[in-house]
């Protein structure tokens, strides 16, 4: 798969307990992340001509989690630290040939943990931007062939595993 994917997510962080100058609370997270990669397959005979068939391998994760969150004011910005536990619904659609009936389609539901670090930048009236990064670990033991086209019985990989996200977000502080 490609090393870069994209996604959308919603974080709801509520900080209600003051600890010294910091605030402690919880976070609820829901997100969708996907990676896609094009593959070209051998030509097919199509009504008197030949054409190459381009197919897409698609790996997706829908994830939901909740856990503790901590916010530390540092001058004019906030350092935000959060960890969540939850569940991931993951799907891999992998073409094996030009014929879509031969595709490998795997779905799995697994537990996950997420840890993140972000900087909140207030702009005005409790509105601002957040820039951060998070690491997600999905606890899946599902294995598939690393290269099913040339060596289907060879090396195995776990398609639902670990990834890192970098994000920018519009933020409202409550």
Per-residue HEC secondary structure of 21-69 comes to CEEEEEEEEEEEEEEEEEEEEEEEEECCEEEEEEEEEEEEEEEEEEEEE
Q: Tell me which of 23-32, 42-51, 86-95 is least confident.
A: 42-51
pLDDT in tens, 6-27: 899 998 989 899 988 899 999 9
Q: Residue 46: its pLDDT value, please? A: 58
- Mean pLDDT, the chain, rounded, equals 86
Q: Residue 98: its pLDDT value, please? A: 75
| Rg (the chain; Cα; Å) | 21
Measured between alpha carbons, how far is 108 from 35 in angstroms, rounded to an integer? 16
Nearest to 122 by CA among 76, 168, 81: 76
pLDDT band at 151 (very low <50, low <70, confident <90, very high): low
Q: What are phi and psi of 149, to 5 degrees?
A: -75, -45
The yes-or-no verdict on residue 1 having pLDDT over 60 is: no
Q: Residue 160: its pLDDT value, please? A: 80
The two structure tokens encoding residue 9: 């997510």
Segments making up each domain of the chain, as ranges: 15-40+50-172
**Average confidence (pLDDT) over 150-165:** 76
């Amino acid at each position: 798969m490609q090393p870069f994917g994209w996604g959308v997510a919603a974080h709801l962080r509520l900080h209600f307990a003051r600890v010294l100058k910091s605030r402690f609370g919880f976070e609820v997270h829901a997100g969708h992340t996907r990676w896609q990669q094009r593959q070209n397959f051998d030509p097919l005979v199509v009504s008197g001509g030949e054409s190459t068939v381009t197919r897409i391998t698609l790996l997706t994760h829908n994830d939901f989690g909740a856990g503790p969150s901590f916010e530390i004011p540092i001058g004019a910005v906030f350092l935000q630290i959060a960890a969540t536990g939850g569940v991931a619904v993951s799907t891999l659609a992998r073409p094996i040939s030009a014929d879509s009936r031969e595709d490998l389609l795997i779905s799995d539901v697994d537990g996950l943990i997420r840890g993140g670090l972000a900087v909140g930048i207030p702009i005005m009236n409790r509105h601002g931007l957040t820039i951060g990064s998070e690491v997600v670990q999905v606890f899946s033991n599902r294995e598939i062939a690393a290269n099913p086209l040339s060596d289907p019985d060879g090396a195995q990989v776990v398609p639902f595993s670990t990834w890192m996200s970098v994000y920018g977000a519009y933020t409202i502080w409550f």
